[in-house]
Chains A and B, each alone.
Chain A
């Protein structure tokens, strides 16, 4: 099979799985998950085939696999869409296919396949457990299977189709299509348990917030199309003339060039999708969805799609960039990225829910990537994107495993405590060893533990680039964020796994089934090893052992191969210090937390702690500034005034006037004219008949007389007519 054909077919299996499950196999749980996991496996296989073929091609960036079809006739020309495999696509496909497959397999166990149906489970609510009586007559509660099992697989199938579409597309339009499909699936999956009011609120919030970003992105795409007449990557991002002309054309808006304005609009799209400040508020609430959703959509793939977009558009964003003078989009990215990285890290420090910490951690790490891109570190941003996907997915799946274990404990003990609160956990390393080890690996990767974890290599590269190109402010901010990252990660691990169980529930937790632990193990392998593909060449000692494959390969995606930054020891030292220092601090502070004790940060930070815990009150601010006024306007103006008074008023008026017109028409037109003419014809004929029937008297002589008189008259008439006429 040719590579192009495989690429075209990649989104197809998950899409078919969605259609099949939704339409036909909704009631059959085993069949549905088999179809879905099979589809994910097929796409994974295709991606691996492409990967193997693609890495063998020298200079793939200059002649990527590219296949197009004409799609939309637009006047004189045709808008073509197609698939495009260059080094960036290949690496993205690699992590997307692996994480998607792992998460699909994990979902089978997460939704308790094989468990009995719940006692009072209803579709729309998370499962609450089933009572089982064993052979001795003892009843106990166990985890119950998710009532909407098949629907979940259908939705994540559709989501995977959207992600593959986005990754393989060769133009911004199909990218946007995939983008929007994923937005829809995010909405559907966050509100998967739609009977929970908090989930409903969260799904709407997510959709609305990302929509704001999407609108700007669409504006950017439209502007780009109208300025260049095409949306294909090959024609824009790899075409120096086009880039130069865009950079030179003024857009008429704030003195920005066209390239800058388009770039800013695209970046705003990413700010929405990748939950950067100020559009970050949806991601923590999105944790209402099931954990595989959080792992896939909100860690590994969808939010990564935002970063993928800006990485892909980097030539445009950096059009007109000369060393030292950042273009406006890059400035925006640098600022927002680094600010968000620090901002989110500070919030994560004060969160108690295990998934919330990871959510803010995601926001923070995405900030790292965007900041890296903002300062021109193309390869570093792509590298961190890949490594983050693996270890964040691992961490989220691990947290799901932890929550499952805790829920088992809740069933067992019948204590109604929050199974997601870290302060109710503790000592789980003994109860759930595999989860512990994999989570630890993921957490160390996130914290940037030196050398053996992928996170170290990618984060270090970002810091090196920041330092090496002289962006000191960015360097300091990111280093601080890295310190906090290590701190809160170790806090999380310590509270959850180390020490002694703080509640009875934690006492009774146990390990999750193989469908959940095997993906964890596989992902942890990647979390360790992926980083070794990108060891910088000039690194002391080991730098010369392995070539910096990642840099070479992915760097080829750009028109000009980016230079590797000079090696400096300062960023390396900084990385080591912040990561090990943060880890140690986290472990020290939290290793002796007992049941019921407060967070030590509370006392040390005082009122600042409550600011952090409440996420700087941004949600409340947005609510006051945007949401409430919107409600008020929509209620008072749109609903009460426009809808009730004006629109309904018009309808009522029409209803009032119609009978009047109707009766008028009936009485003055229908009855007299229409009926009347009909009646007139009938009546008239009768009257005519009655008037003339006297002729038929029955008297023969009269007939004769009439005939003869008429004959005489006509004869005279015709005589005069025929003789006088010429």
Chain B
């Protein structure tokens, strides 16, 4: 059978790939893609733990459901922001959006 370690390693790997995407990509939407990967990795982690450790307590799945909701909300708002920024600055390259610079 599949030990939990496989799931955990997998989710860790997916999470770090997503992190790499967040940190290293220029385009803002690409960053959001990375964020999605991270969220999904977290979800997998959650559900794996639910299934392997406490399959009776449905709270694990509930948590995952909430994460869904949050992810959806966050993507919506983030994309709205990106569009707004694009309108103003005509760019969505994260490096060029540095108004908080000294």
Residues of A participating in the B interface, judged by any CB pair closer than 8 Å: 693-694, 696-701, 704-705, 708
Contacts and interface: CB of A to CB of B under 8 A. Distances in A.
B32 interface: no
A699 B22 contact: no
B98 A697 contact: yes
A575 to B, nearest CB: 123
Contacts, number: 29
B98 A693 contact: no
Given A694-B102, A701-B24, 7 more contacts: A693-B102, A698-B102, A699-B98, A701-B22, A701-B23, A701-B95, A704-B23
Contact of A701 (B94, B99, B101, B102): B94
A699 B95 contact: yes
A253 to B, nearest CB: 95
B100 interface: yes
Interface string B77-92: 0000000000000000
Interface residues of B, number: 12
Contacts of B100: 696, 698
B66 interface: no
Most B CB atoms within 10 A — which of A696, A699, A705? A699
B23 A696 contact: no
8 contacts: A693-B102, A698-B97, A698-B98, A698-B99, A699-B95, A699-B97, A701-B94, A704-B23
A700 B82 CA distance: 14
Contacts of A704: 22-23
Interface of B: 22-24, 31, 94-95, 97-102
Query: What secondary structure prevails in chain A residues at the interface with B?
Result: helix
B94 A699 contact: yes
A698 B31 CA distance: 16
A705 B101 contact: no
Most B CB atoms within 10 A — which of A693, A694, A698, A705? A698
Contacts of A699: 94-95, 97-98
Most B CB atoms within 10 A — which of A694, A697, A700, A708? A700
A700 to B, nearest CB: 6
Most A CB atoms within 10 A — which of B97, B99, B101? B101
A698 B98 CA distance: 4
B39 to A, nearest CB: 16
Contacts of A696: 100-102
Nearest to A703: B100
Contacts of B99: 698
Contacts of B22: 701, 704
Contacts of B102: 693-694, 696, 698
Nearest to B19: A708
A697 B31 CA distance: 18
A705 B101 CA distance: 16
A109 B102 CA distance: 101
A421 B54 CA distance: 145
A701 B99 CA distance: 14
A697 B23 contact: no
A700 B94 contact: yes
